[in-house]
Structure 1
């Protein structure tokens, strides 16, 4: 109906002007009723192509008089929206930015509130001609500066821009980055990407045995080295240019948080070293396994040192304490990539392809248990008797893991828990204990007491790291919801 009203507003002055000219210059006088009916016919003819919902009684009456087709008004859906309080001691920043035209006249605003919901600061700014993504980032950045002026030390940022979350949280995953690079304002959520990866893993998981993964493991090694070289080169490039953020190497947070975060970081680092666990333990066993596994252990740690320390040191040098848990998210600034987009596509593709074989390796223990329960060793590996149970059991196990991952996206926190409860004891405690048991050095020898000291120290580290990891999950649980789009 707004279109019909607009047509009437245009046609009425036109008909009045035409009638005036007819009487003045052509000496033709029409009856007012005839002119009125001609006007209604024109409105009806033009408005016939407009089909709009009727929203009030006046529109309905006019539409019926003019015989204009109408659509029923869509049912209004009431959606409950609420503001959740931040944790005690925290301040929440709610911000938003928009651009009329994208790019066009843009503005940004935000408000700071504490746990009592009392506003402690607010702002609204005009940004001139800008884009939506820059307006969103400007809103968050101005909010952070305002929080700093107010003396806020624990800030909880809440906004509706996926690209802003990707840049500030450092929790994006490679296939999500592809989507955000091509569509910064896309609507696909994180848990939907997790489901996509789960479906991809279900297909790869049907590889029947561990031995058939040896070529995939070689490919994984090549991809890992290539990714590390690319990430290190990008960090060095950004660090040497003026594109990166100002370097700040200070340690942030209060003393308690610093201590717990340090031990949680140790647990995460232990998880990164976890690939050397099996050859490290087997290197302490008697020959001939010892010799082969020791060589494998040396190769393993050379690769880990090159990949892990190369990326972590260059990343910390380039970005300081702004370095994110996923370094790739630091390659963006204000929503714009600091390196060419094609480079980001390549490096994220390497990461994505790398994740798949690593996941398959860690699935092998579960697959072996399922094979023993449901497979028939008397039948062939590709027989219907074994293929069907393998397909069903592995698909169900991956579906359950995918559901949990989508519901609880604590990626970094889970690494801390795994490192504290699993990899620190298995990587740093058990090997030295096995050495003392296997080779039985005398209690007067330095090696015995060195191994005992290492086992004791890292046992204490494991306990404290476990507490820190569980504490971090507890803190993050207050900001997460099931199937959260973090």
Structure 2
């Protein structure tokens, strides 16, 4: 953004700081999302077992605790980055719940016969669904943050590239993979977004699959929400492994003679075999997951939190630093036409991120007015 800082150690430090804090924030978002999906399963089963006679509301605290416990166990696995099959499982889970959501949304939209709202969203002139114009603006800005979160793939781009083997060159593979990946992602996001709005109108939930819980076939919706949970169990670790490595490498350099930090113990588990355990790694990773779960439990606002995370990481990681690196790599002259266009793009995305962040913060403040920690039910 007009080269606010000279290229060098300061930018490297800033990029690392934003990236690592964004990874932690994403882990919080994943904890909220996973628990929300499991609450949707429980509500759906409750509603259908009681035939809608009783109110089915549940706290997501228990599911957050279960998710956190699973992540504590998974975080102790050494060489987690070598589990190549994890990406395949994640891709299958993503395809399953995205396809189910898309199919159910199309079915619901066809049953409706028409979109249950005007094309400009919630009416601000009157009626049961009326909102003030400013509230509508805040919600639009928060939605921009949700979109930014969905497209902030840059957080793991370097980790993916680091696992590639030559030939072909990493540059060729990454270009092809990025083009295909972003194209497929955009297709699903745009289609599901439009179909979800056609299906639910103003009542569209932040997590689309949680809105189908009272409809049949509810077992299919439960399966889709379980796919989300399974996907996020692995995705959580993918995002947190760089954070674990950062702290552990720093501590090892700081105290090179500490047995607590460096000593490894062999733990034999029946049917699994021998595992190397490290006391510091076990304690540190367990504390990290516990703290992350606690923060998620204190702020379980799906849309607002996801929007804030997206707004925080989108501009610096997906726009500003990549553009700065491209300008330096290609040696684009300042104030040339290409340089000006790139700066306009960067400034525009910066303003969008700022607006999305403000909208998401407003959403959090509004939610806090009606929220009791650890007691709110859904």
Aligned partners of 2:94 and 2:231 also within 8 Å: yes
Q: Find out whether 1:458 has 2:336 as its counterpart.
A: no
Determine the structure 1 residue equivalent to 2:149.
Answer: 271
Distance 1:198 1:479 in 2: 26
Greater gyration radius = 1
Structure with the bigger percentage of strand: 1
Once the two structures are superposed, the pairs formed by residues 419-434 of structure 1 within 5 Å of their partners are: 419-434=310-325
Describe the SS at the equivalent of 1:485.
coil
TM-score (norm 1): 0.57
Describe the SS at the equivalent of 1:237.
helix
The verdict on how the C-alpha distance between 1:392 and 1:422 changes in structure 2, with shifts beyond 3 A counting, is same
Once the two structures are superposed, the pairs formed by residues 274-285 of structure 1 within 5 Å of their partners are: 274-279=152-157
CA distances 1:352-388 after superposition (whole Å, capped 9, x unpaired):
1111111111211221134323686786897887433
Determine the structure 2 residue equivalent to 1:221.
Answer: 91
Aligned partners of 1:249 and 1:320 also within 8 Å: no
Larger mean CA deviation between 170-179 and 438-447 belongs to 170-179
Determine the structure 1 residue equivalent to 2:226.
Answer: 349
In structure 2, stretches of 5+ residues that fail to align are 1-32, 48-54, 123-130, 162-167, 253-259, 268-273
Aligned partners of 1:247 and 1:318 also within 8 Å: no
The verdict on how the C-alpha distance between 1:350 and 1:278 changes in structure 2, with shifts beyond 3 A counting, is closer
Determine the structure 2 residue equivalent to 1:467.
Answer: 358
Determine the structure 2 residue equivalent to 1:363.
Answer: 240
Aligned partners of 1:228 and 1:310 also within 8 Å: no
Aligned partners of 1:270 and 1:427 also within 8 Å: no
Larger mean CA deviation between 381-390 and 232-241 belongs to 381-390
Determine the structure 1 residue equivalent to 2:140.
Answer: 262
CA RMSD of aligned residues (A): 3.1
Describe the SS at the equivalent of 2:84.
helix
Larger mean CA deviation between 224-233 and 440-449 belongs to 440-449
Q: Find out whether 1:439 has 2:309 as its counterpart.
A: no
Determine the structure 2 residue equivalent to 1:235.
Answer: 105
TM-score (norm 2): 0.72
CA distances 1:423-446 after superposition (whole Å, capped 9, x unpaired):
232112222222112112235653
Which of structures 1 and 2 has the larger relative contact order (alpha carbons within 8 angstroms, sep 6+)? 2
Determine the structure 2 residue equivalent to 1:417.
Answer: 308
The verdict on how the C-alpha distance between 1:171 and 1:367 changes in structure 2, with shifts beyond 3 A counting, is closer
Which residue among 314, 324, 341 is the counterpart of 2:205? Answer: 324
The verdict on how the C-alpha distance between 1:278 and 1:408 changes in structure 2, with shifts beyond 3 A counting, is closer
Residues paired across the two proteins, number: 310
The alpha-carbon deviation at position 409 of structure 1 amounts to 0.9
Determine the structure 2 residue equivalent to 1:82.
Answer: none
Determine the structure 1 residue equivalent to 2:120.
Answer: 250
Determine the structure 2 residue equivalent to 1:299.
Answer: 180
Describe the SS at the equivalent of 1:183.
helix
Structure with the bigger percentage of helix: 2
The alpha-carbon deviation at position 289 of structure 1 amounts to 4.5
Which residue among 14, 37, 46 is the counterpart of 1:174? Answer: 37
Distance 1:460 1:187 in 2: 39
Larger mean CA deviation between 190-199 and 238-247 belongs to 238-247
Distance 2:217 2:156 in 1: 39
Q: Find out whether 1:485 has 2:377 as its counterpart.
A: yes
Distance 1:207 1:200 in 2: 12
